[in-house]
Structure 1
Amino acid sequence: MSEQSQTEQSETVRAAYAQAAAAAAAAGVTVRLADPPDMAGVIGLFERTWGEGRSPDRSMLLALDYAGNTVLTAVADGKQVGATLGFLGWSNGLHLHSHMAAVVPWRRSGGVGFALKLFQRAVCLDHGVGEIRWTFDPLIRRNAHFNLVKLGAEIATFLPDFYGRLDDAITGSDQSDRFEVRWRLDSPRVHRALGGGHPPNWTTSEVLPLNVDFEQLRAEDPVAAAELRATSRALFGENLARGLRPELNTTNDYVFTTDAADRPGTSEPVA
Structure 2
Amino acid sequence: MSPSLTLAAVTEQAQGAARVAAESAGVRVSDENSLAGFLEIEALFNRVWLLPPGESAIPSELLRSISHAGCNVTAARDPAGRLVGAAAAIVTPQSTSMYSLIAGVLPGISDRGVGFALKQHQRAWGLARDLTEMTWTFDPLVSRNARFNLTKLGAYASGYAVDFYGPMQGEMNANDESDRLVAVWPLTSDESAACSEDRPIAVERPDFAPNDVLKLGPDGDPVLVAADGDLWCRVPADIVALRGQNPQLAAEWRRSIRSIFTDIFASGHIARGVSRDGWYRLPPGGTA
Moved over 3 A (4+): 199-206, 247-252
Partner of 1:40: 39
The size of the alignment, in residue pairs, is 257
Q: Distance in 2 between matches of 1:59 and 1:227?
A: 38
Partner of 2:210: none
Amino acid at match of 2:24: A
Q: Distance in 1 between matches of 2:22 and 2:272?
A: 28
Change (3 A) 1:243 1:124: same
- Aligned match of 2:141 in 111, 123, 139? 139
Partner of 2:11: 13
Query: Are 1:225 and 2:245 counterparts?
Result: no
Change (3 A) 1:134 1:203: farther
Q: Which moved more, 1:199-208 or 1:8-17?
A: 199-208
- Looking at secondary structure, tell me which structure has more helix per residue: 1
- Which runs of structure 2 are paired with 1:134-173 in the superposition (5 Å)? 134-173=136-175
Q: Deviations over 1:132-171 (max 9, x none)?
A: 1111000111111100010000003000111111213321
Amino acid at match of 1:82: G
Cα offset for 1:10? 2.4
Partner of 1:257: 283
Q: What's the TM-score once normalised by structure 2's chain length?
A: 0.82
Q: Distance in 1 between matches of 2:286 and 2:240?
A: 31
Cα offset for 1:190? 1.2
SS in 2 for 1:38: helix
Q: Distance in 2 between matches of 1:190 and 1:152?
A: 5
Gaps of 5+ in 2: 205-226
Change (3 A) 1:260 1:48: same
Partner of 1:210: 235
Superposition RMSD on alpha carbons, in Å? 2.3
Query: Are 1:89 and 2:83 counterparts?
Result: no
Amino acid at match of 2:244: A
Q: Indicate if the aligned counterparts of 2:76 and 2:114 stay in contact, CA closer than 8 A.
A: yes
Query: Are 1:241 and 2:266 counterparts?
Result: yes
Partner of 1:31: 29
Gaps of 5+ in 1: 264-271
Q: Distance in 2 between matches of 1:230 and 1:78?
A: 43
Query: Are 1:22 and 2:20 counterparts?
Result: yes
- Aligned match of 2:83 in 77, 80, 95? 80
Change (3 A) 1:156 1:89: farther
Change (3 A) 1:214 1:14: same
Cα offset for 1:260? 2.5
Partner of 2:122: 120
Q: Distance in 1 between matches of 2:274 and 2:48?
A: 29
The percent of aligned pairs where both chains have the same amino acid is 30
Q: Indicate if the aligned counterparts of 1:39 and 1:58 stay in contact, CA closer than 8 A.
A: yes
SS in 1 for 2:30: strand
